[in-house]
Chain A
Amino acid sequence: MADQSVARAAATRETRRLRRILTPEGVELEVELADAGERAGAFLIDIIAMTVAIIALVLLGILVLWQAEVTLGGNHLAGWLIAFGILLIFAIRTFYFSWFELRWTGATPGKRLLGLRVIDRQGGPLTGQAVVARNLTREIEFFLPATLIIAGPALLPAEQFVRLSMLVWLGILVLMPLFNRDRLRIGDMIGGTWVIVAPKAKLLSDLGNEDNHRWRRAIAGDASAARFTFTPQQLDIYGAYELQALEALLRRNDTATAATRGEVAQRIVNRIGWQGNVKPQEVDDFLNSFYLAQRRRLEGQMLFGKRRKDKHDRGDS
Chain B
Amino acid sequence: MLDWPLLSLLTWIPIAGAVVVAALGQRSPEMVRPLALIVALVTFGLSLLLYVGFDTSTAQMQFVEKAVWIEAFNIHYHLGIDGLSLPLILLNTLICVLVVIGGWRISDRPHQYMAAFLMLHALMTGMFAALDALLFYVFFEAILIPMFLIIGIWGGPNRIYATVKFFLFTFFGSVFMLIALLWLYLDSGSFAVADLHQHEFGLVPQIWVFLAFLIAFAVKVPMWPVHTWLPDAHVEAPTGGSVVLAAVMLKIGGYGLVRFALPITPDAAAHLDWLVIALSLIAIVYIGFVALAQSDMKKLIAYSSISHMGFATLGMFLAFAIARNTGEMTGAGLGMSGAMVQMVSHGFISGAMFLAVGVLYDRVHSREISAYGGVANTMPWFAMFAVLFFMANSGLPGTSGFVGEFMVILAAFHASFWFAFVAAMTLILGAAYSLWLVKRVFYGEVANDNVASLKDLDAREWIMLTVLAVFTLGLGLWPYPLIELMEPSIQNLVEHIMQSKLG
Question: Is chain B found bound to chain A in the same assembly?
Answer: no
